[in-house]
A and B are shown apart, each in its own frame.
Chain A
Amino acid sequence: MLYRATGSFNRSYADELKVYQVPLPKNTIIVITFLVFVVVPLTFNEYYISILNFIGVAALGAIGLNILLGYTGQISVGHGAFMAVGAYTTAVILREFPDFPWFLALLGGGVGAAVIGMFFGIPSLRIKGLYLAVSTLAAQLIIEWGINHWPWLSGGAQGSVYVAHPTFPWMVDGELAMKPMKQNVEYYFLIYITLALGIILALNIFRTHLGRAFIAVRDRDIAAEIIGIDVFKTKLAAFGISSFYAGVTGGLYAFLYTIANVEAFTLLVSIQFLAMCVIGGLGSILGSILGATFVVLLPIVNDLVVRGLGGALLGWDDATASTILPKVNLILFGGLIMFFLIVEPDGLAKLWRTITDYFRVWPFPYI
């Protein structure tokens, strides 16, 4: 049953505090949850699940960065490095204490990254904008260098630490035992449950004092200070929470690759995550998810579509397709990013809102 919002007519204070004022969003969320956790794992094949896994992990990282970038207005070009901190913390905890529960190690990765992130967030009190970007760029380089040159941490010259597969209780040969996650679909549940928790946490942050303080600092920090917000603490908290997300993302990457390797968290990764936030829409959780989906999926879809078209229409063989595709991919990737930013500078989230607003009153918009 479709409901139309015509205004809020609450009869009690309890009504007014309800998360969902009308049933539609609630039902939508129930349907999405059902799709994500029941339909998709049952119907999608392993390859599509593996793509969804990368989208899920990227979305978690993008939400984290958006808390800092979109909601608090502080830039970080060091998120790739914060992810590396999370990945290595998780991996090293599990290397030193193999019996330690892996989900606590994952949280530990988040906490480790939060501490480092807050440390590198200290300059944000004094410097803003491009200057802050450069100081977080320094964080990226310092952390990468540090991991590379700390043999105990990074396991010698290779700079990488293997991580055991996470385990979960499952019926193995009729007995309840701990089964290592090896299938993509098992990781899918790990990633999407974590992402769901991350989304719930992020949405709720902005219903609290702290979350509103973030937005106040973003809109004008002097005004925020005058109304009694401790700007320094708020900015540090934003850096901490954002890096916590990055750390958990890094930990998930470590589980997914079964290795923590510093070369998987370079400056390019940081920039990719910034791109996700900007394309998706600053200051929007949905935007972060859409942006992550866009950035992860675009090269893959390009590859599939252009390869298919080239093969069907132009008769490309594998060697020809391999030579031409990467160039087409680069052109399309750049072109589509520009296209979307010109059509909707506020990101995919705004685009989504425009479309849903249109359909909210469709087909009788003038009544």
Chain B
Amino acid sequence: MRKLSLKALKPALLGTTFVVSASMAIPAHAKEFILGMQCDRSGPTQNVGAYICDGLHDMVKLANKRKMFGEHTVRVFEIDHGYDVPRGVEAYERTKQAGHISYALYGTPHTYALTPKLTDSKVPGTSPGFGSAAAANGKAYPYIFPIAATYWSQGAAAVQHVMDSWKAEGKSGTPKIAYLFYDNPAGREPLEVLHALQKKLGFEFREFAVPPPGVEMRPQVLDIVRRYKADWVVSHLFGRAPAIHIKELSRLRFPMNRVLSFVWGGGESDINVAGWDIAEGYQALQFAGVGKDHKVVQDIIAMYKEDGKPEPEELKQSVYYNRGVFTGALHAKAIANAIAAKGANATGDDVRKGFESIRDFSLDGFLPPMNITQEDHEGGGWVQVWQVKGGKYVKATDWIQGYRDVVLDFVSKAKPPKTN
């Protein structure tokens, strides 16, 4: 027994010495900047996380290859936390120890737990598609960047799209909207914006909560279709739930082209589970482009080909992979801005300024026209609607912003987290 444990210890010790020696090998003139990153590849959201994080890696690799950072390079230091909060904080502490100057968060509770730490250590953290919508207010949350449309913006954009479609079909009056949501803080976050819009526009609106994990929603769907007789369903679900609501709604013959999902219900994997023919017409909001046709994605494929490798397997889930590319592109741009301003001495605070000086950055339509300012850490709150048509996602609208005045009203009221 003792012998065995000693044997097991040896490679362990060997390994740690290698870690230490590897982290010390930094060339003298060109600096290697560290982009800290956490990911969930072994927890409840691994089916999303694995794709997003690979996208980010590839994007930063491409940026390094293109000499976007001049003589310097950026290393993505990723640690898996399995959606466990203490491990997420540990992951942050480890990359902080390594000297990260920018941080890619993953997961809403992690974003909450790390907001004060990032603010104290003056390192910007990005939370695209999760975290707190109030963080779009950069004055209240100086070091948190949602960068993509928050749930508030997604709610407003969803209503905008429903109203536009209603008018385009030449119908009078206002539609009856059912909001089918995951009953957790993230699911309820858009409610206040939706209520404000209901007051403003006067449409009929009812909430239908699905308790986590959201694998059983027959009563809610029955209620929506048979009793409430909704014209439109706006859904905000996570994990396995989106596939199930597609199946349940189609079982009751609810027209799929009247279902609009928030960003976490719009992956290829969701439709794979529900069936592409069943989901025909289903629409989902996206904050980054979908598919392989974008120039930046083609560049990544070309980069793989140069290395003699086939295109990344993860591109089969282009929705999530592209979101990683999106986050990576913004980090790369912000770090490049910081390096342009301060050279090798760039710090976390310079990267924050780098984020806040991103103007009309769209990567040829892959991203919305991003303008991140100190007032707006969300970059405009743009989304696109993509629709399932003939076995793939097809773009249904261009980049839209829904009722920006209402959303901004909420954003401006956001209070900074109380710390001392």
Residues of A bordering B, CB below 8 Å = 45-47, 50-51, 54, 57-58, 95, 145, 148, 157-160, 162, 164-165, 167, 180, 182, 184, 256-259, 261-264, 268, 272, 296, 299-301, 303-309, 311-312, 318-319, 322-323, 325-327, 329-330, 343
Contact = CB atoms under 8 A, between A and B. Distances in A.
B419 A164 contact: yes
B420 interface: yes
Contacts, number: 155
21 contacts: A47-B97, A148-B185, A157-B185, A157-B189, A157-B191, A160-B112, A180-B419, A257-B89, A257-B113, A259-B113, A264-B109, A268-B84, A308-B15, A309-B14, A309-B15, A319-B61, A323-B41, A323-B50, A326-B80, A327-B41, A329-B42
Given A47-B97, A301-B12, A323-B54, A259 B112 contact: yes
B1 interface: yes
Given A257-B116, A308-B19, A325-B41, 8 more contacts: A54-B89, A158-B112, A159-B188, A162-B417, A304-B19, A318-B57, A323-B50, A329-B82
Nearest to A351: B1
A261 B419 contact: no
A145 B212 CA distance: 10
Interface in B31-87: 39, 41-42, 46, 50, 53-54, 57-58, 61, 75-80, 82, 84-87
A288 B359 CA distance: 54
Given A50-B90, A148-B185, A322-B78, A167 B12 contact: no
B228 interface: no
B277 interface: no
Interface of B: 1, 11-12, 14-19, 22, 39, 41-42, 46, 50, 53-54, 57-58, 61, 75-80, 82, 84-87, 89-90, 93-94, 96-97, 108-109, 112-113, 115-116, 120, 132, 134, 183-185, 188-189, 191-192, 211, 417-420
B76 A318 contact: yes
A311 B420 contact: no
Given A261-B112, A311-B22, A47 B94 contact: yes
Contact of A47 (B17, B96, B192): B96
Contacts of B80: 303, 322, 325-326, 329
Given A54-B90, A261-B113, A311 B185 contact: no
Top 7 nearest A-B pairs (CB, nearest first) are A308-B15, A159-B185, A326-B41, A312-B18, A308-B19, A257-B113, A263-B109
Nearest to A311: B22
B1 A50 contact: no
A263 B108 contact: yes
Contact of A264 (B42, B53, B85): B85
A45 B417 CA distance: 28
Nearest to B1: A343
